[in-house]
Amino acid sequence: MAKQRSKKRIAGLIILIILIILATALVVINPFQYLKSLAPQQVVEESTEQVSVPVRVLEVAQSNLQNTIRTNGSVIDPSSLDVYPEVTGTLRTLTVSVGQRVEKDQVIATIDPSRPGVVYKEVAVKAPASGTVLALPFVVGAGVSMQAPLVRIGMLENLEVVTDIAERHIGSVTIGTKADLTFKAYPNETFPAVVSRLSPVLNPASRTLEVGLVFEDEMRKIKSGMFPTITLYTEHLDSIIAIPRSALLYSGNQAYLYIVDETNTAHRVPVEVGLQVEDMIEIKEGLNVGDLLVTEGQSLLTEGTLVRVLQ
């Protein structure tokens, strides 16, 4: 009897050990599944409502574009002339000063052509025409020669503005191109001008072209030697579609925009661009007057995105 009870006790222990091993194996092999089975089940309902993207739009309308070139220049007297001495020697006297009015045949300087051991009579330098002294490169006592001008005399009747434009702008500037001049001396005034001449050759060193302009100055406020800021008016387009440059996107070389329809849905539209002036750019094809153009938030859009237009 005692032997049978011992056998039953051993068998029961073996079964208990097997059950413990199986339970442990279930927890170790898939603990998360076990814990999930213990957690209460939650029913998640998916929202079918589409999220709208906030954007700002602009109604497309026709406008004008005026391209310009801004540069600096200088006022010169195109009729000025340089006076050269007829001998080489020492400048003994200089009877004029810059800005002084001189008359034709007036003595403006004397030169002593004497050399060591040889004495010559001083030679007078006379003004070849009436005008105003614009420049005196030499001072009394300096050595002068027949190769360097001694005095520059200007007529100051028809002043001219000269400037240089880059090679890429040459095709857009012609004789008759209009311009405006502004001067620091007259900050609230603008002087109309027009291109009167174009240099026939390009400067090979700077790759620029010299341009001459004549201007209106009835009060004769502008003086030779002044430095104006020049605005040249080049290409002008009327009644075109022009949009802010910031609204434009690119995919490779293809420009595109987003417009919004009556259902507040965004549509991607490929476009062809044209002239750009500062922050505005011409749209040649792909956009129509009256379209609602997305100007802010377009980088978050794709074809068919629902949008919310901000005021």
Last residue of one domain, picked from the residues 102, 136, 154: 154
Q: How far is CA 77 from CA 14, 74, 154, 209, 263, in A?
A: 121, 10, 6, 19, 66
Q: Is residue 94 part of a domain?
A: yes
For helices 2-29 and 31-38, angle between their N-to-C axes, nearest 10 degrees? 90
Domain assignment present for residue 30? The answer is no
Residue at a domain's end among 184, 202, 236: 236
Coil, strand or helix at 80: coil
Look at residue 4 and tell me if it is in a domain. Answer: no
Q: Is the pTM of this model over 0.85?
A: no
Residue 206 is encoded by which pair of tokens?
A: 């700077």
Q: Are residues 150 and 136 in the same domain?
A: yes
Looking at the structure, tell me whether residues 232 and 242 fall in a common domain. Answer: no
Same domain, 216 and 248: no
- Structural domain including 121 reads 85-154
Among 182, 215, 236, residue at a domain's last position: 236
* Whole-angstrom distance, CA of residue 28 vs CA of residue 103: 117
Q: pLDDT tens digit string along 246-290?
A: 999 999 999 999 999 999 999 999 999 999 998 999 999 999 999
Check residues 228 and 12 and name the one with the higher pLDDT.
Answer: 228
Q: Give the whole-angstrom CA distance, residue 275 versus residue 258.
A: 20
Same domain membership, residue 169 and residue 98: no
Q: What is the tally of structural domains in the chain?
A: 3
In this prediction, what percent of the chain has a pLDDT beyond 70? 87
Tokens for 66? 């005026």
Q: Is the pLDDT of residue 245 over 90?
A: yes
Distance of CA 136 to the CA centre of its chain: 40
